[in-house]
Amino acid sequence: MNKLPEKPQQITFDITDRCQMKCVTCNKWKAELPDMMSKELTTDEWKKALDDLKNWLGEGYWFCFSGGEPFLRKDIFELADYAHSIGFKVASMSNAFSIKPLYDKIINSSIESLNISLNSISNPIIHDESRGREGSFEKALDSILQLKKMRDEKQSELGINIATILFPENINEAVPLVEFVTRNKINGIMFQLLDDAESFQAYCVRDCSQTSNYIMPKELRLKYKSMSKRAIEVIDRLIEMKQAGHSIYNSYEQLKAMKVFFNNPDDILKTITCDVGSTNFAIDPYGDVRLCFNMDPVGNIKDSKPEDIWINSESAKCRNLTKSCKMYCRMLNCNFKHDFANFNNSVLSKFKTSIGKFLCGTK
């Protein structure tokens, strides 16, 4: 019998399904149920979840507040402060479309790391089209540069990172994005493989995928094929840039796995297993807990203690299902099975309490 993993390493709070964008890669914004907001966990319910997690995990864990767009929840700062006050570290991610009035609050908040999604740098249209809203590039760029300036002036320790999905239209933006990060002394950048938009569904309408029978949609396969040669060249260059000291958060092994993927996505299913069952613990806006975001919930944080959910029969069933999974989202940063030996040593020692910060920032 397999030994049960002691504790998860990556905790995600998807605090809302709501989003104001219309990204072509993500289906979350399409869910517009009238009662979505009223069904979300209240501030006190999130705090109780934090207390329960603290009792189980102890201090020092990184948590990622994501969504939907997490900054649409007015209590995000209160929740971050509370998490910080009981010994957790908070990262968050944002499309940055509406955060300008919050810059001061962000700088003074308990959020220690903010990942801003940005899909291009030399051509704003690529980013705007991927996000489905004109002006989103300008807002994301303003957020990155202004927050960086304010952070430096106030000597705040907020980490500011960029999260970029790689797709055919922006593959030539990857290297200029890294150069931008280095030139402007942004903390770092994480690249994310484009996944099936079906995996990015709002939880309130999520119809859990048949992970063992999954077949990649034809159009997505064609997209990968159309960019594969260039993608492999670009990833080789990213590896060189990382070796030269540019702050690219993806591990070498993940970058190498991306090359394998672009050569033939199906090889990934044969060579990389998915370990989310023993690493991930994600709570959705309504309190449902998932180890794999594409599978059924294994419990609800309002009804059960997290340590009981972790060892219940639904979690065991989920872990079993991961073994026959035919999906490619094992390549996503939040799911990729990292080998810590390949992490940059200085980075690892700084964040030795948890790998969450690197991984969840980019789902």
Ligand X SMILES: C[S@@+](CC[C@H](N)C(=O)[O-])C[C@H]1O[C@@H](n2cnc3c(N)ncnc32)[C@H](O)[C@@H]1O
Cβ-proximal residues to 169 (8 Å cutoff; 6+ apart), any chain: 126, 129, 130
List the one residue from 11, 15, 26, 359 that touches ligand SF4 (CB under 6 A): 26
Which tokens sit at 281? 């613990």
Q: Please state the closest distance from residue 336 (CB atom) to ligand SF4, in A.
A: 9
Stretch in the footprint of ligand SF4 (CB under 6 A) among 18-26, 99-107, 140-148, 253-261: 18-26
192 binds ligand X (CB under 6 A): yes
Closer residue to ligand SF4, CB minimum distance, 242 or 319 = 319
68 binds ligand SF4 (CB under 6 A): yes
For residue 263, which phi and psi values (nearest 5 degrees)? -70, -45
19 binds ligand SF4 (CB under 6 A): yes
Read out DSSP for 190-243?
EEEE---GGGS--GGG-----TTS----HHHHHHHHHHHHHHHHHHHHHHHHHH
List the one residue from 254, 335, 354, 362 that touches ligand SF4 (CB under 6 A): 335
Closer residue to ligand SF4, CB minimum distance, 21 or 235 = 21
Helix, strand counts (H, E) of the chain: 15, 9
List the one residue from 56, 200, 252, 351 that touches ligand X (CB under 6 A): 200
If you compute the radius of gyration of the chain from its CA atoms, what whole number of angstroms results?
19
Q: List the Cα angle 207/212/215 in 5-degree steps.
A: 80
In 6-110, the DSSP E strands lie at 10-16, 62-67, 89-94
Q: What residues does 16 pair with on adjacent strands?
A: 67
325 binds ligand SF4 (CB under 6 A): yes
66 binds ligand X (CB under 6 A): yes
By CB under 6 A, name the binding residues for ligand X. Answer: 19, 23, 25-26, 66-67, 69, 93-95, 117, 163, 165, 192, 194-195, 197, 200, 363
By CB under 6 A, name the binding residues for ligand SF4. Answer: 19, 21, 23, 26, 28-29, 67-69, 95, 200, 211, 274, 276, 292, 294-295, 322, 325, 327, 329-330, 335
